[in-house]
């Protein structure tokens, strides 16, 4: 390999920049969620945990697409990957809106999140380890927006970045 070939493969392209940016922001979002959970002690509800799944997909997918985008022959593949990633993030944004709507009492959430308790046969032993976190109450808000609301905004913004990035030239 010559030095020019190595430099060419290491060069960034608009598609790689978009892909790496999505991966970085998705990773930062996960780090923020883990900070709230493990450092500040906010226990996530079931819906909060489910809202992390699109980010678990976006981080490695964004990294893979970023490295693939360095080869101009793979630009079409990266564009389709960004569209697919955008759809995953639209789902994540919609899920955040759904969860925020439950917190604001716009609609009812799943029965497993409402605070109703379904006790198993061995009640005493299960109650010792049981820590229920309701989905219909926001654990933390800033400027009137809960973490679910911020998730909807971040995932929605990343979806827009992915879709706009798919339209960029290699």
Render pLDDT for 36-52 as a digit per residue (tens, 0 to 9): 889 988 888 888 889 99
Please indicate whether residue 14 or residue 122 has the higher confidence score (pLDDT). Answer: 14
Average pLDDT taken over every residue of the chain: 82
Give the CATH number of the domain where residue 52 resides.
Answer: 1.20.1550.10
**Does some domain include residue 126?**
no
Please tell me the distance from the alpha carbon of residue 26 to that of residue 167, in angstroms, as a whole number: 21
Q: What is the pTM of this model?
A: 0.79
With H, G, I as helix, E, B as strand and everything else as coil, classify residue 48: helix
What is the pLDDT, as a whole number, of residue 135?
61
Mean pLDDT of 3-14: 59
Q: What percent of the chain has pLDDT over 70?
A: 76
The residue among 16, 25, 21 whose CA lies nearest residue 67 is 16
Q: How many residues does the chain have?
A: 170
Burial zone of 147 (CB within 10 Å; 0-12 exposed, 13-18 middle, 19+ buried)? buried
**Does some domain include residue 33?**
yes
Q: Which residues, listed in sequence order, are joined to residue 142 by a DSSP beta bridge?
A: 145
Least confident of 12-16, 64-68, 127-131: 127-131
How many domains is the chain partitioned into structurally? 1
Q: Which residue segment(s) compose the domain that 34 sits in?
A: 13-107+133-166
CA distances from 162 to 29, 69, 71 (A): 16, 13, 18
């Amino acid at each position: 390999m010559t030095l020019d070939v190595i430099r060419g493969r290491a060069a960034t392209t608009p598609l790689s920049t978009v892909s790496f940016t999505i991966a970085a922001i998705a990773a930062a979002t996960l780090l923020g969620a883990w900070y709230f959970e493990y450092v500040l002690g906010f226990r996530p509800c079931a819906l909060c945990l489910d809202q992390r799944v699109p980010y678990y997909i976006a981080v490695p997918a964004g990294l893979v697409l970023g490295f693939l985008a360095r080869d101009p022959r793979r630009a079409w593949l990266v564009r389709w990957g960004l569209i697919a990633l955008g759809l995953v993030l639209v789902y994540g944004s919609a899920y955040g809106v759904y969860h925020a709507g439950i917190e604001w009492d716009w609609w009812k959430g799943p029965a497993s999140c409402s605070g109703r308790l379904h006790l198993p046969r061995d009640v005493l032993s299960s109650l010792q380890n049981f820590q229920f976190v309701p989905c219909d109450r926001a654990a933390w808000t800033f400027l009137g927006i809960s973490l679910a609301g911020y998730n909807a905004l971040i995932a929605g913004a990343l979806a827009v970045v992915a879709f706009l990035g798919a339209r960029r030239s290699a």
